[in-house]
Amino acid sequence: MLTNHPKKDRVANLRSDAGLASALRVSLARLNRRLRRQAVVDTLTPTQLAALAAVERHSSISPGELAELEKMQPPSMTRVIAALDERGLVARTPHPTDRRQVSVSLTEAGSALLKEERRRKEAWLTQRLKELTTEERAVLRAAAPILEKLSRI
């Protein structure tokens, strides 16, 4: 049954797990899109940016390990690494123990790009948080660890 109160319908839907899941999916996707618009380099794809951040977290990682971490097929990751290497954001060096492999590591340019990327996104989000009430920010502080847990399950 349709009502003339869409806000009441949304609130009622949040009472069920399915309604909460739907609301979170929409809100998080919208927030993610808005954060992506703050990108320093809009020519990097989200996949390239995620791979670059993974290389930063796992220095000297093999392309196969990186593909596994990012849940990608190895040939796709090879293309991502090649694009990042071409831009000077990562470096490929011979693997220390397996001559058939290479290790991928972050360059200074890659590190600087990630730092600026994070700075811009956090500045944008900090500004948006200032628009919320003290109570709303407290709710988000309490929810942040829960959202982190959801992202790792």
pLDDT tens, residue by residue, 1-17: 444 555 555 555 778 88
Between CA 74 and CA 1 the distance in angstroms is 49
Q: Which of 95, 115, 118, 146 is nearest to 35 (CA)?
A: 118
Structure tokens at 96: 């220390």
pLDDT tens, residue by residue, 106-131: 999 999 999 999 999 999 999 999 99
Q: Is the pLDDT of residue 42 over 80?
A: no
For the chain, the farthest-separated pair of C-alpha atoms sits apart, in whole angstroms, at 68
Q: Which of 21, 6, 83, 24 is nearest to 51 (CA)?
A: 83
As a whole number, the mean pLDDT across the chain is 88
The pTM score is: 0.76
Between CA 67 and CA 115 the distance in angstroms is 23
What is the pLDDT at residue 143? 95
Please state the φ and ψ torsions of residue 57, each to the nearest 5 degrees. -70, -30
Specify the CATH class of 38-152 in words: mainly alpha
